[in-house]
Structure 1
Amino acid sequence: MVSISSDLLQTWIISLLWPLTRILGVIAAAPIFSHKSIPQRVKLGLGIMLTLIIVPTLPPLPQFEIFSFQGLLILVQQLIIGLAIGFSMRLVFAAVDLAGQLIGMSMGIGFASFFDPQTRGQSTALNQFLVILAMLIFLSLDGHLLIVTAVANSFITMPIALGGSGIDPMKIAMWGETIFSVGLLLALPAVAALLITNMALGILTKTAPQLNMFGIGFPITLSIGFLVLALSLPGMLKPIENFIEKGASNMAQVAVPNSAVPNSTLPVSESAASGK
């Protein structure tokens, strides 16, 4: 009869539970994987499958009781690391969503909004169109494989251990700043064209007050908005691709501990001090 000791059973549980927590954190925050249309069972099954593949390559894990303070601290740490990795790529789609929001508000279709279960907020059809376009570009660049690769590499650069997570919140916050710059860059052609259109309609209102500008201006802004958007869609491809690649690079850098930063990236004063 095969007997299994409690220590061996605990080793098996922690070797599966801690990596699974980090991977499920990524799945909960990363685009495509976290979509509401994917059933929870599929997400859990994907997380378990990836965990079973990655576990044999992991270094020895710290031996703590599962329900001890140290064990729970490691569990929370792995969840934070996974959420940070997935959130870094999620910001790419937030920038595209912002571009759609700016264009839609300038066109005047902002009032035709509906509840988006993915973002749990108000969204327009134009937002959804640009986000779906970004998802297709993301899949064409094998973005889902980039996320899996970043998770697997994170166990090497940031092994499971009791201590600082190595996540730099300031780095994630600075990466979040690009949401506004990239979103404005994508929406700039349509917003500029619609601004000129609204200025022309304003001048026409002053010169001919008897005209029904709501009945005339609304179709004009819609037509010009869709026309400029159709002309600018081919030009959006390269910026979105570059932003996705930058997001993948940042996703990999988030999982690097602060102590692993090379000396060449230090400020000049610190490099000079270390040279002394």
Structure 2
Amino acid sequence: MLDTINWANVPAFLLILVRVTSFFVTLPLFSYRTVPTRHKVAFSFFLAAIMYFTVPAPELVIDGEYFLLLFKEMAVGIGVGLLAYIILSAIQIAGGFIDFQMGFAIANVIDPQTGAQSPLIGQYLYIITLLFILAVDGHHMMIDGVFYSYEVIAMDQFLPLREEGWIMFVIQSFNQMFVIAFLMAIPIVGCLFLVDIALGIIARTVPQLNVFVVGLPLKIFVALSVLVIAMTFYVMLIRNLFETMLTTMRDLMQVLGG
């Protein structure tokens, strides 16, 4: 069986396998702890085997330059997947803003996907976001992004790291992520701000009323009521956030591809 293997094709296959595996290390949905590691490795191997017959693979020789190409493939996969995960984490940042105003900031939950602490409302919105991505076949779109990345960044092409374009693009993506998080949190945070103003007026006009006892359950009730009313608005923002994530992945690969 070993005699039938064309060993000249192994270096190109290893480059494809490294890029696909690196994508699945940080890409949303595929990188979570709830997905077994053996499934990630097996899926990466079979996907790389399928892509090998469709991606133009040049003749490569294992030398010092080849190991630099391996590091380049790893950097492309991890960098693009990590930026996509950062854009999607705007949901949890918005949930942190909301929880701070509701009084839930002291009660965090463990996110089973990442193993990190997450705010309550942020985890709720994040689960809705994951369900939305699965409902619109977003995981297939992300796999398409892995496949079409070879049209922008060739297998034997090095990254233009000396240029400052990719640094400015990453900074702008961070800025856009915080803007999206602010837009998602502002309806509830704005209503809770008005509640705080009303409670301050009541505390000055009716000193006998203990505002600290009434204020916390009132703010929780108002926040949950506004959250139910604004769910349609949040679904629209989640759709825009997912489109922004795909656009950011594509634009970063174009910047890295020169």
Please report the TM-score for the alignment, with normalisation by the length of structure 1: 0.84
More displaced 10-residue stretch of structure 1: 185-194 or 55-64: 55-64
Q: RMSD of aligned C-alpha atoms?
A: 2.3
C-alpha change, 1:55 and 1:200, in structure 2 (3 Å) is same
Residue 120 of structure 1 deviates from its aligned partner by 4.7
Q: 1:95 touches 1:178 (CA, 8 Å); kept in 2?
A: no
Q: 2:125 aligns with which of 106, 127, 130?
A: 130
C-alpha separation in 1, matches of 2:111 and 2:178: 21
The equivalent of 2:38 in structure 1 is 41
Unaligned runs of 5+ in 2: none
Provide Cα deviations, 1:34-93, integer angstroms capped at 9, x if missing partner: 11101101111111111011001222335232xx43222111100111122222321332
1:28: which partner in 2?
25
SS in 2 for 1:114: strand
Match of 2:231 in 1: 233
Residue 108 of structure 1 is matched in structure 2 by: 103
Aligned length: 255
Inter-CA distance 147–2: structure 2 relative to 1 (3 Å threshold): closer
Q: Provide the rounded CA distance (Å) in 1 between the counterparts of 2:27 and 2:211.
A: 45
Confirm or deny: 8 A CA contact 2:88 2:245 kept in the other structure: no
| Unaligned runs of at least 5 residues, structure 1 | 261-276
Q: Aligned partners of 1:127 and 1:39: how far apart in 2?
A: 25
TM-score for both structures, normalised by structure 2: 0.90
User: Identity, % of aligned pairs?
Assistant: 26
In the TM superposition, residue 209 of structure 1 has moved relative to its aligned partner by 3.5
Question: Does structure 2 retain, via aligned residues, the 8 Å contact 1:27–1:34?
Answer: yes
> Whose radius of gyration is greater, 1 or 2?
1
What residue in structure 2 maps to residue 56 of structure 1? 53
After TM superposition, list the pairs within 5 Å mapping 1:1-276 onto structure 2: 3=3, 8-9=6-7, 11-65=8-62, 68-164=63-159, 168-256=166-254
* Structure 1 runs of 4+ with >6 Å offset: none
2:253 partner amino acid: A
SS in 1 for 2:28: coil
